[in-house]
Amino acid sequence: MRNELLVIEDADVHQSILRMIAAQAGFNTTGASSVDAAAAILRERQFDCVTLDLSLGERSGTEVLQLLAANKYRGPLLIISASEDQALDASARIGSFLDLNVYPPFHKPINLPLLRQTLKQIAGDTERRKQIQAASW
């Protein structure tokens, strides 16, 4: 069973690249290009990992941090953005304050080998956790 990843990114080319890298790392992917689309998807489905762009058109990705916290999402969260270091660090701190499992942020342009390696590690960790949970039932 493959892990599920939600890619929240408004630029089509970036979303396509992220989804391709995630698929190579062992994830089924779903894309959302806005805060509203992400909110609708998160109300309906559970995900093992989420990637989040901080600039989503007219709205901020920090709104998604609040949505994830409200939904008690506890999986890995990868913030991927072209924002300045201070904004990335502040968003990561907000996510941590909201008890989200925020990984160190990725800057655009993305270091694709590092992202692939990180996603492979997350996929492996998630799969092991699922196997342990299944065995304990």
Cα–Cα distance, 61 to 43 (Å, whole number): 17
Which pLDDT band, with edges at 50, 70 and 90, does 85 fall under? Answer: confident
Give the per-residue pLDDT at 6: 98
Q: pLDDT tens-digit profile of 22-63?
A: 999 999 999 999 999 999 999 999 999 999 999 888 888 899
Name all domains of the chain by residue range, CATH numbers in brackets. 3-136 (3.40.50.2300)
Give the per-residue pLDDT at 2: 83
Using CA of residue 65, residue 118, residue 32, residue 75, what is the dihedral sign? negative
Give the per-residue pLDDT at 1: 63
